[in-house]
Amino acid sequence: MGKSAATKPAAAAAPEATVDHLPEEVTSPAAETPAAGTGGAGPVQEYVPLLTRLPILGLSPQVDEGHWAATAFRGEVVPFRATSFREGHDRIGVDLLLLDPAGVQTEHHMHPIAPGTDRWEVEVQLETEGLWRYRIQAYADDYATWKHNAEVKVPAAIDVDLMLRMGHDLLSGAAADKRRSPAERRHLGEAAKVVADTAQPVDARFAAAIDERIVRILAERPIVSLPSLSETRAVLVERTRAGVGSWYEFFPRSEGAKKLADGSWKSGTFRTAAKRLPEIAAMGFDVVYLPPIHPIGRTFRKGPNNTLDAGPNDPGSPWAIGSAEGGHDAIHPDLGTEKDFAHFLGKAKQAGLEVALDLALQASPDHPWVTEHPEWFTTLPDGTIAYAENPPKKYQDIYPINFDNDYDGLRAEVLRIVRHWMSLGVRIFRVDNPHTKPLHFWEWLIHTVNATDPDVVFLAEAFTRPALLHTLAKAGFQQSYTYFTWRNTKEELEEFLDGLAHDTADFLRPNLFVNTPDILTEYLQFGGPAAFKVRAAIAATGAPTWGVYSGYELFENVARPGAEEYIDNEKYEYRPRDYTRAQTLGRSLAPYLTMLNRTRSEHPALRQLRNLHVHGSEDDAILVYSKHLPGAFTRSGKADTVLVVANVDPHSVRETVVHLDVAALGLPVGSTFEVKDVVTGQRWTWGADNYVRLDAFTEPVHILVVKPL
């Protein structure tokens, strides 16, 4: 079901175990009363308050006041929060009423967080795909209010008889509630008898009313009055791969490509590319992303390093889609046939890999669309078709699509193309430059596809302004590229990672690619091997989805002069690589990437998004953060905690003290604990304040598994 399906969802039923009835909805017309200051002349409608009896505000998760459903992935631990309070000093309780996609409701008691803020929270692990709905219920907790007052008055000999009588009435009423278990009713009834027995000392009567067992029973199932309900909100839970994955990008044409004696090239094929899949899987990656695999135009074909003059043997950019051989539903003849593509998909599945295909809505001047549907492009006053530009960059080999000339025709064609590749087995699409297309189109396309195939995932390559990037996610994209590649300092990374985990997690899932064919940052160009380790370690541990573009493991770091793109860019030429030789010579990052992915698979805390906590250090280059997952949410039943300490200056040796919020590690404040570095195997005993030394020229990052002593 699409994310916007939650605009006006059905209300979740109230739990019979906590309230006798729910407040009725206001359905009758407002009463007519005289208008103030009019001398009684003229009826006006009575104002109906927006607040419920006990105010319930600030629901989370929610997106734009419920305009879209919030999102989560299967297995994600989602914090549900609300602000609720009442006038005066009486105690209240707050519950989450959660309705799963099958219509089964569960109740979860919420607990107060951040004293003085009236903010309440409970974490729930959502394990079923589909649309969940929830409401927040606030209520007066009559026993908790009485207990608080009695603990002040009875020891001070104030209103003792009155307080004990009130306590007896509460306990006997709860004991008569047939919705409680026989054991609960028996304990409550016995306590009520003791409280009512005036022959016993006051202390004994009072002790019976606040016995630990009674407190526990009435905390689990409170005595409720003044029940109030929030509006309904929704959370769309998608498959785990929509939120968790390790991506590897490579060009099939480069895998197995050979340079011939005459200087021409023989392209790699799906068959030769399939031979590399086991090696990619062995590094722990689970998604292989392919750039466009379609025929490439010849008109204005780009040559090496984005030059305007391509030679007869230059393959051109895969993003210049379309030629006489076909368009977006065709396969480049050099790569093979649909049968060969099916072979590639089969080998990927055999290796435990999913295949993501590029969806680039643009065309070369040779695309069949240009002659069959010229209205799908922008025609300039001189009669030419506008090519793509991102000044000062020019893409003469690409025509952008214009949706405004024939919106219905274009969206039908794109849906046909997507369903074509889905029919061949593709379930993940990496969408090129979605921010250059109308957002309402993407919302329609993704929701239309997911209505019948909810397992299909769309990744937005949205390197764009925050508002646009965020709205693409709200419109339906399950994942998004981010500005991670340009966030390199400690201060930048603290703000960036904290924002991903807490500010946008209700709707945006980041895919932290460390590089792309278009992006080779100065940090990687000049940071040496340490920079490659630092960026990979932060990407792999900072978010549940991350990715690399092939060549990263070979420390490729030479840019085209004046640009942050790779020199001899694979977008414009074949780039076969000798990965085996690099590993034999000890010049490969593959073992490090393998270690990162293995650590991710072994530690469920790293496969969560919302649990990142930033800690402090006394050095402006030492980044510290943790991810903690309570045992209630792990298969083993044991808590899982990983602490990352990274020297983000790849040119230095740093010594400093890090300061940890021990409670955020799931441990008692003041405790000591063991940390084991999965990078080196070293162990230390740590507490809240710890000395660290990180040498960028050996190992710039600690990835520490936290164990209680």
Of the candidates 468, 408, 469, 421, the residue with the CA atom closest to the CA atom of residue 449? 421
What is the DSSP pairing of strand 32-34 with strand 43-45? antiparallel
**Tokens coding 655:** 């010594």
Contact 107, 159 (CB under 8 A): no
**Residue recorded with tokens 């293995």:** 598
Q: Mutual orientation of helices 182-196 and 160-175 as an angle, nearest 10°?
A: 160
Distance (Å, whole) CA 409 – CA 142: 63
* 50: helix, strand or coil: coil
- CA distances for 686 relative to 101, 191, 615, 697, angstroms: 44, 47, 14, 24
Longest C-alpha distance within the chain, in Å? 110
Catalytic residues: 432, 461
**Tokens coding 300:** 């204005």
Write phi, then psi, for 395 (nearest 5 degrees): -125, 75
User: What residues contact 189, with CB distance under 8 A and at least 6 apart?
Assistant: 171, 172, 175
Amino acid at 65: E
Please name every residue paired with 57 in a beta bridge, in sequence order, or none if there are none. Answer: 83
Distance (Å, whole) CA 153 – CA 656: 53
Peptide bond into 392 cis (omega under 30): yes
Distance (Å, whole) CA 518 – CA 521: 9
User: What residues contact 334, with CB distance under 8 A and at least 6 apart?
Assistant: 253, 267, 269, 315
- CA distances for 484 relative to 72, 463, 508, 555, 667, angstroms: 21, 10, 14, 19, 31
Contact 144, 91 (CB under 8 A): yes
SS3 track for 161-211: HHHHHHHHHHHHHHHCCCCCCHHHHHHHHHHHHHHHCCCCCHHHHHHHHCC
Burial 286-307 (b: 16+ CB within 10 A, else e): bbbbbbbbbbbbbebbbbbbbe
Q: Is 411 exposed, middle or buried (0-12, 13-18, 19+ CB in 10 A)?
A: middle
**Tokens coding 668:** 């008692």
Amino acid at 620: D
- Tell me how far the alpha carbon of residue 461 is from its chain's centroid: 15
Distance (Å, whole) CA 211 – CA 191: 8
DSSP letters for 431-458: EE-GGGS-HHHHHHHHHHHHHH-TT-EE
Of the candidates 233, 225, 171, 223, the residue with the CA atom closest to the CA atom of residue 21? 225
